[in-house]
A and B are shown apart, each in its own frame.
Chain A
Amino acid sequence: MNQDRELQIQAFLDGELSGRQARKVEQWLAGDSEAQALLRELRATKSALGGNEPQLTLPETREFYWSKIQRQIEAAVPEHEAAQASLWLSWRRYLGPVTAVAAVAMLALFSIKEMGFDEADRHLAEIENLSEHASSLSFRSQSENMFVVWVYNKDQQQSEEEADFADEAVIQ
Chain B
Amino acid sequence: MASQPDNASTSDEKLVRAAQRGDMVAFEELVARHRDKIYARAFSMMRNEDEAVDLSQEAWVKGWQRLKQFQGESSFVTWMTRIVINLCLDQLRKQKRHRSESIEMLEEESGGVERQMPIVTVNPTERLERSELRQRIDKALALLSVEHRTVLILHEFEELEYKEIAKRMQCSIGTVMSRLFYARRKMANLMAAYKREELS
Q: Which residues of A contact B141 (CB under 8 A)?
A: 54
What sequence of 0s and 1s flags, for each residue 52-66 of chain A, a beta carbon within 8 Å of any chain B beta carbon?
Answer: 111111111010011
Closest to A54 in B: B138
A115-133 vs B, CB cutoff 8 Å, 1 = contact: the mask equals 0000000000000000000
Chain A interface helix/strand/loop/mixed: helix
- B177, A7: Cβ atoms under 8 Å? yes
CB pair A7–B162 under 8 Å, yes or no, is no
Q: Is the CB of B36 within 8 A of A50?
A: no
Given A42-B184, A45-B184, CB of A76 within 8 Å of CB of B44: no
- Indicate whether A49 reaches chain B with its CB closer than 8 angstroms: yes
Is the beta-carbon distance between A62 and B187 smaller than 8 angstroms?
A: no
CA of A83 to CA of B1, assembled, Å: 43
Contact of A55 among B28, B31, B134 (CB under 8 A): B134
Question: Chain A 68-111 against B: per-residue CB contact (8 Å), 1 yes, 0 no?
Answer: 11101100101100000000000000000000000000000000
Number of A interface residues in the complex (CB < 8 A) = 39
A-B contact pairs, 16 of them (CB 8 A): A7-B181, A10-B184, A14-B155, A16-B161, A41-B188, A44-B125, A45-B187, A45-B188, A48-B123, A49-B156, A54-B135, A54-B138, A58-B53, A59-B53, A65-B53, A66-B32
Could you tell me if A49 and B188 are in contact, using CB atoms closer than 8 angstroms? Answer: no
State in angstroms the CA–CA spacing of A69 and B59 once bound together: 9
Give chain B nearest CB distance to A59 CB in angstroms.
6
B119 touches A49 (CB 8 A): no
How far, in whole Å, are A28 and B141 apart by their CA atoms in the complex?
32
CB distance from A39 to the nearest CB of B (A): 10
Q: Give the distance to chain A from B68, nearest Cβ to Cβ, in Å.
A: 10
Instruction: Say which residue of B24, B31, B133, B181 sits within 8 Å of A48 (CB atoms).
Output: B133
List chain A positions with a Cβ less than 8 A from chain B. 3, 6-7, 10-11, 14, 16, 34, 37-38, 40-42, 44-46, 48-50, 52-60, 62, 65-66, 68-70, 72-73, 76, 78-79
**3 smallest beta-carbon distances between A and B, as pairs:** A54-B138, A58-B39, A49-B156
With contacts A44-B188, A45-B187 taken as known, whether A3 is within 8 angstroms of B65 at the C-beta atoms is no
Contact size class for B? 35 or more
Q: Which residues of A contact B180 (CB under 8 A)?
A: 10
Select from chain B the residue with minimum beta-carbon distance to A60: B53
Question: Which residue of B31, B36, B65, B137 is within 8 Å of A52 (Cβ)?
Answer: B137
* A residues less than 8 Å from B125 (CB atoms): 44, 48
Given A54-B138, A69-B57: 8 more A-B contacts, CB < 8 Å: A6-B115, A10-B181, A41-B120, A41-B188, A48-B187, A53-B153, A58-B39, A62-B35
Closest residue on chain A to residue B142 by CB atoms:
A54
Beta-carbon contact of B121 and A41 below 8 Å: yes
- Interface residue B40 (Cβ < 8 Å from any Cβ of A): yes
- 8 A Cβ contacts from B52-104 to A: 53, 56-58, 60-61, 64-66
